[in-house]
Structure 1
Amino acid sequence: MKTLLRHCLLAEVLGTAVLMLFGTGAAVVEEQTHALGHGGVAAAFGLVVLVLIQSLGHVSGAHVNPAVTLGFWAAGRFPGRRVLPYVAAQLAGAFAGSALVRLIATPGSTLGATLPAHDVAQAFGIELFLTFWLMLVILRVTSSFYEQGLLVGLTISATVWLEALVGGPLSGASMNPARSLAPALLSGHLTAAWLYVVAPAAGALLAVVTNRLLDLRPSPEA
């Protein structure tokens, strides 16, 4: 039975808010206490993604990311009429989560905003590739041929963890426009905010094209 849209949107609002609470919340805790380290913050993002997939995936798909929703739509796996409502729900959840994180943050905190460590071009390239690889992994492991329950959540969360661990110091490893826009706007740290929208969207679409190429079958005559 198809899940009602209102149930899906509630799951996306809740899921994205929880992503911000534990993901960017970990960044704020590290900012204040230095108790987690960069590896701990990366682990927090990976673990919360696993929890969200296993708890909300059967309701809304646990996209919690406009780039993922865009990718699923472009791949023909998600109805176009639900794209904008999903994105709106994800943004609402991200802002709600960031507002709660702000309650524990000190004055001047970035609230876990993603900022380029060096130049914008480098950060754009990194975000493009990280989102490309994340979306490609998602498309591959959620196909009917490969999907194997818990292994799907483990693979996707491990990908987020790995990418946050390696790419985080350079670009913030956002891979998610909602995750970047909410803390940037609430904290006022808007440096190159556009790239955290454009690069993930482009990366997700590139993953869709690559996934189709990987699925090409040779002709009988070949």
Structure 2
Amino acid sequence: MPESEAGTPTASAPATPGTPGGPLISSLRVDSLSYDRKSMPRCKCLPVSVTAPSWGQSHTCFTDFPAPDVSLTRKLGAEFVGTFILIFAATAAPIVNQKYNNAETLIGNAASAGLAVMVIILSTGHISGAHLNPSLTIAFAALRHFPWAQVPAYIAAQVSASICASFALKGVFHPFMSGGVTVPSVSTGQAFALEFLITFNLLFVVTAVATDTRAVGELAGIAVGATVMLNILIAGPSSGGSMNPVRTLGPAVAAGNYKSLWIYILAPTLGALAGAGTYTAVKLREDEVTDPPRQVRSFRR
């Protein structure tokens, strides 16, 4: 564990919204590539190699994360509710668009998803980190911003919430559920490229506001919601602008339409890894910044 000049353990800032929360602790240094260590000086560690470097730093542990300060049950509950709200809102808009002859329009569809992401981040981010997306969870775990041990439970909560929200929509809007299914209107290659690129954009922004002490973390919800809206405006008419495997999976199960489902599972996951990895590679190092670190509101709960 790193130590400050006074000899006391350092603490990284608490996790985002509140994804993108917690009280401001401006007097503590932040290790933006570690997990949230607030009030948790002891780590659980699995030794691997004394000399193996990880992203430019020496580590002796494959997993180096503390016991969470919020129970896993509460995190999963918040993640379930947040994902349910997101899928319900993001899928309802195109269903309404279909039912009422393009009443929502592309801008309405994009705004519905972007606003849903923003309000969920601001309301549940301080509990679960408001991942809402298996691709984000996997990318953050791969870059050591989130413990691998919690990844299966988070993904299970996200998938189950998506399916529940989709069947709720099916009950409310039947027989117009097909409007909420994301299927490509372009070739398979074009759809894959679009989903990869827009998820790259999303995770680049998420990683910036969630893990970098120089980013304006307090605006994480707005930044991520705006990125979702922008991506849907770009890719919505072509690939559906999913960016999220569960955004496609739940409606596909409810509607019984699994066309090109693999694109919406694989492309966002690869795009998320690339986007998060790219920001990690280009971010400023601590020794390159003279300003004191800000508190980080992150997805790393």
Which position in structure 2 is the counterpart of 1:19?
A: 86
Equivalences for 1:1-222 in 2 at 5 Å?
2-33=69-100, 34-107=102-175, 109-215=177-283
Query: For each residue in 1:10-65, what CA deviation from the matched residue of structure 2 results, as whole angstroms up to 9, or x when unmatched?
Result: 01111111011111011111110122111101100000000000000000000010
RMSD: 1.8
CA distance in 2, matches of 1:177, 1:111: 17
Larger relative strand fraction: 2
CA distance in 2, matches of 1:91, 1:167: 23
| TM-fit CA distance, 1:108 | 5.6
SS in 1 for 2:167: helix
The answer on whether the counterparts of 1:74 and 1:208 sit within 8 Å (CA) in structure 2 is: no
CA distance in 2, matches of 1:78, 1:172: 28
In the alignment of these two chains, the number of paired residues is 220
- TM-score w.r.t. length of structure 1: 0.94
- TM-score w.r.t. length of structure 2: 0.70
Seq. identity, %: 38
Larger relative helix fraction: 1
SS in 1 for 2:260: coil
| TM-fit CA distance, 1:143 | 2.0
Rg: which structure is higher?
2
- List runs of 5+ in structure 2 lacking aligned partners: 1-38, 40-68, 289-301
2:89 maps to a residue whose letter is F
| TM-fit CA distance, 1:110 | 1.2
The answer on whether the counterparts of 2:169 and 2:177 sit within 8 Å (CA) in structure 1 is: no
SS in 1 for 2:200: helix
CA distance in 1, matches of 2:273, 2:243: 13
| TM-fit CA distance, 1:148 | 3.4
Deviates more, 1:172-181 or 1:25-34: 25-34
The answer on whether the counterparts of 2:94 and 2:180 sit within 8 Å (CA) in structure 1 is: yes
The answer on whether the counterparts of 2:170 and 2:176 sit within 8 Å (CA) in structure 1 is: no
1:214 maps to a residue whose letter is V
CA distance in 1, matches of 2:153, 2:250: 17
SS in 2 for 1:142: helix
1:196 maps to a residue whose letter is Y
| TM-fit CA distance, 1:105 | 2.0
The answer on whether the counterparts of 1:105 and 1:111 sit within 8 Å (CA) in structure 2 is: no
The answer on whether the counterparts of 2:162 and 2:247 sit within 8 Å (CA) in structure 1 is: yes
CA distance in 2, matches of 1:210, 1:149: 19
SS in 2 for 1:146: coil
CA distance in 1, matches of 2:269, 2:212: 24
- List runs of 5+ in structure 1 lacking aligned partners: none
